[in-house]
Amino acid sequence: MNITVVGTGYVGLVTGACFAEMGNTVTCVDTDQAKVARLNQGEVPIYEPGLDAIVQNNHKAGRLSFTSSLSEAMADSSVYFIAVGTPPGEDGSADLQYVLDVARQIGQHLDNYGVIVNKSTVPVGTADKVREVVAQQLDERNLDIAFDVVSNPEFLKEGAAIDDFMRPDRIVVGVESPRAREVMAELYQGFSRNHDKLMFMGVRDAELTKYAANAMLATKISFMNEVANLAERMGVDIEQVRKGIGSDSRIGYSFIYPGCGYGGSCFPKDVKALMHMGDEFGYQTDILCSVEERNQAQKHRLYEKLSERFADGLSGRTIGVWGLAFKPGTDDMREASSVTLINRLIDAGATVRAYDPVAMDEARLQFPDTVFAAGKLVLCEHQYDALADADAMVLVTEWKPFRQPDFNAIKKLLKQPVIIDGRNQYDPYSLKAQGFDYTGIGRDRLG
């Protein structure tokens, strides 16, 4: 099939590359011309394990190309994926300007029957808006061309995106017309040899499914963080509680790891967008409000723990931070807990030395030049450099190289053997035996 994918971010680029890998001919479109130029030179602008090879191989084989001209891309295809961003607006609602802009352009260039697929995460009712915008453009061109709008939300995880796309748990397709359903079934047959994976449903059902999935996962995390904070006050080890409840098959182990809050480009914005949908539909989403509030507060826990430990103040102290990305496996720092922590430390007069295996370039963009110029934030080349003469080490992102570090080296480097573990990676008993002053999340008065 000939496919157009609009937007070459984490979702669009993975979608385009994976469809090309299955033998389809894919043209990816992005308004960011610098990005398109890099992609045409075989350079992948984001970090996603395995993506480079798939993009480069398919580009070389002529199945994957990149352009900033949507009309050029549309000339050869009849399926158009919209995979542009839907960032949060000021009121928390999903900002649809990019999606509707693409819809308008599709309407300006559509010449034959086409299937327009919303892959971006969009509120219930967006397919109707896309349909209206396209129809209006066709009206203005005095054309009567049939088209369908389908909802096909994406469930990939950054850091495991290729595997998730190639071997999905499910493929949700919201579709009303039999013609579009046939196109989508053909498109996804290679990814769903077990046909149960392809789930057809109503367009609005599919739109809500995506938000409900992310909100459920966010709820599990915030719930566990709440219990962890309670455990700290009770002298209980939350890690024992986690194992104790995760073994219940009705609960399971996924997404019940306590930590310093969820971030990324999806959970925070999708929870807020669903709350906003609640307002629009006259329903108060109490659980979602609490999930969001708990998460906002949880992102401050590491700073609070440092403040408790250094009761005489953090001004003039140096803190070593391991991990900047919002989770391991990605360079994405959108809504990362590291940003909250570092901003608060700098505001308090501390100096931060930080290291991340892949997000260092992204970190340079996240903070103003002034903090680097003033030496308030130093990005270090190696993980141990970040701890040199620091008053404490804080683990924010649980990258693999941080999981079994050389604690002897850490102890020698730190001015004081203080470890704040935002992801409960280390054993409090063993660290205390080695002379560390250790605090995790939900495991404070242990050892």
> Using CB under 6 A, which of the segments 5-13, 36-44, 316-324, 435-443 binds ligand NAD?
5-13
Distance of alpha carbon 37 from alpha carbon 66, whole angstroms: 8
Please report how close the Cβ of residue 136 comes to ligand NAD at its closest, in angstroms. 17
Distance of alpha carbon 385 from alpha carbon 110, whole angstroms: 56
Please state, in angstroms and as integers, the Cα–Cα distance from residue 398 to each residue in 29, 89, 296, 336, 405, following that order: 34, 30, 20, 13, 12
One character per residue 139-158, x = contact with ligand NAD (rule: CB under 6 A):
---------------x-x-x
> Using CB under 6 A, which of the segments 27-35, 138-146, 178-186, 227-235 binds ligand NAD?
27-35
Out of 39, 81, 85, 353, the residue judged to bind ligand NAD by CB under 6 A: 85
Q: 154, 152, 148: which is closest to 173 by C-alpha?
A: 152
Closest to ligand NAD by CB, 16 or 440: 16
Closest to ligand NAD by CB, 39 or 414: 39
Which residue has 């700290």 as its token pair? Answer: 232
Helix/strand/coil for 65: strand
First to last CA, the chain: 61
Q: What DSSP designation does 303 have? A: H
| Upper half-sphere CA count for residue 17 (Cβ side, 13 Å) | 27
Does residue 346 contact residue 371 with C-beta atoms inside 8 Å? Answer: yes
Indicate the residue whose CB is closest to ligand NAD.
9
> Using CB under 6 A, which of the segments 96-104, 236-244, 284-292, 309-317 binds ligand NAD?
96-104
Binding to ligand NAD, residues 109-128 (CB under 6 A)? 120-121
Distance of alpha carbon 252 from alpha carbon 217, whole angstroms: 12
Out of 2, 31, 67, 78, the residue judged to bind ligand NAD by CB under 6 A: 31
One character per residue 214-253, x = contact with ligand NAD (rule: CB under 6 A):
----------------------------------------
In 356-423, which ranges are continuous DSSP H helix? 360-366, 369-373, 407-413
Binding to ligand NAD, residues 264-303 (CB under 6 A)? 265-266
Q: Should residue 88 be labelled a site residue for ligand NAD when binding is judged by CB under 6 A?
A: no
Closest to ligand NAD by CB, 12 or 168: 12
Active site residue 28: no
Could you tell me which residues come within 8 angstroms of residue 271 by beta carbon, excluding any fewer than 6 positions away?
214, 215, 218, 288, 291, 292, 295
Out of 18, 79, 102, 377, the residue judged to bind ligand NAD by CB under 6 A: 102
The tokens describing 88, both together, are: 């949060």
Helix/strand/coil for 426: coil
Does residue 407 contact residue 431 with C-beta atoms inside 8 Å? Answer: yes
- Positive or negative, the CA dihedral 227, 232, 235, 241 is positive
Catalytic residue among 18, 28, 266, 380: 266
Binding to ligand NAD, residues 6-25 (CB under 6 A)? 6-12
Out of 101, 132, 226, 437, the residue judged to bind ligand NAD by CB under 6 A: 101
Distance of alpha carbon 223 from alpha carbon 442, whole angstroms: 12
Please report how close the Cβ of residue 128 comes to ligand NAD at its closest, in angstroms. 17
The catalytic residues are: 266
List of residues contacting ligand NAD (CB under 6 A): 6-12, 29-32, 35, 83-86, 98, 101-102, 120-121, 154, 156, 158, 265-266
